[in-house]
Structure 1
């Protein structure tokens, strides 16, 4: 009897979690991403750098089969993470035209291909340094306060998952 009660309780929890995610209620308020090409979704598109992926064949397996600035032909690990967490869209590249208004309430992506843990790595390739990514993050927080108020912004930031993927570019410079 006890085993079936535990199973039933676990099943209910799983169904509630899946139902909540399936109906667009994310498990966390936001997804914030920093790093290099492993997680860049298009911040390099408008930079004066050779390190870009906003042209074919990139993006051929992504939504609408168009290049977005992701250094792959489809989704990045952060895209799958956003889906798993229940988001209905992916965090926009902070420097893109999509990073405005309500789109920023569920997170932002500050990553830049060719960036590294060392600013000198990004400077070599004219990418966004990790220091500059953090400066953009501060600017993002100000935008959140303007949209959601102090309490709302604090709840978003404190409940967000913050991801960092960096360092591989430091080895190849």
Structure 2
């Protein structure tokens, strides 16, 4: 049996688009970067996550559109403040486009039950987290109905969401 591709391989094989929808108010609060940020440690996000920076920079250099949309509760959680603080130096600096949407503005949008990455409009990597936001596992599918749902959900969020630089932390 063939091993499923790694996340890095999915990203490297992507040809036109990689979109990510995040819908939680906290992720992996045990992450040393979050712990350091909470303690007031100042760091360069691109230096903290060099592999991510290289991966996204390489993808955008070959013409892949990388977009991330985040649905968040407002006022935002401490973890979302952390994500917002590192987004310029990590995501934007690597070439991602990032937008934010208040959960209150998403009530009427049909959304999948989990965060996901959608590669080239047809391959979905579903992210599963436990109740505390710790990463449990991923699920890879090319089922057309799931890809269509994820594509429609992402685009509906993207259309309403506020670009990163304009999103107020309430």
Output the TM-score relative to the length of structure 1: 0.25
User: When you count helix as a share of all residues, which structure comes out higher?
Assistant: 1
User: When you count strand as a share of all residues, which structure comes out higher?
Assistant: 2
